[in-house]
Structures are given as C-alpha cells and as structure tokens.
Amino acid sequence: MSFGADFERAMCSFNAMGGEFSGNDDTATVVAYVVRGDTVEFSTAVCAPHDRFNVAVGGAIALERFMEGRTVTMRRADCAFL
C-alpha cells in the first residue's frame, strides 16, 4: 500500500465521487462508501485480532480496496453503517 502521491490521487478521486468513511471502534471496522441514489457501493477494512485498531490505517486500506474495484453494492435501506 502506498501512502504517497498515488494515495493522494486516489483520495481526491474518491472525494470527487462523493465518497465518505465510517469508522467503528467497537468492531474495529472502517467502511469507505459512495451513495448512488438508492444504492451504496462500499469496501471495508477490519482490524485483525492481534493488531491495534487505527482508523487512519483502516481508512487507507478500505480506500485502496474501493479504488481497486473490490467493492460490494447494496440497497441503501439495508446499509446499517449509514
């Protein structure tokens, strides 16, 4: 994973799509998502049990997965993280 110029370009592209993040300390999960009408496209990053949760690292991983197209699309009404 690159945190250099490639990451900055990915973040700018994600923001231009209307992308947002949702983090949850209780489940050590970060979701990168874009709402598109009645659907939500998203990717996740879940902290491994032996690691310490860091929302910034989780956000970078979720963003990387989103930009690589490793996403899921669901109905907005079914997304508990919104």
Contact 35, 76 (CB under 8 A): yes
% of the chain exceeding 70 in pLDDT: 96
> DSSP H helical segments within the chain, as ranges?
5-16, 55-67
What number of CA atoms fall less than 13 Å from residue 82's CA on the CB side?
Answer: 16
Phi-psi region of 36 (alpha: psi -120 to 50; beta: other; left: phi over 0): beta
Which pLDDT score is estimated for 40? 97
The average pLDDT across 15-38 equals: 93
Among 46, 31, 45, residue whose Cα is nearest residue 80: 31
Task: Judge whether residue 7 has pLDDT over 90.
Answer: no
Residue-wise pLDDT tens digits, 44-65: 999 999 999 999 999 999 999 9
The closest alpha carbon to 64, from 18, 3, 22, belongs to 3
Overall pTM surpassing 0.85 (yes/no): yes
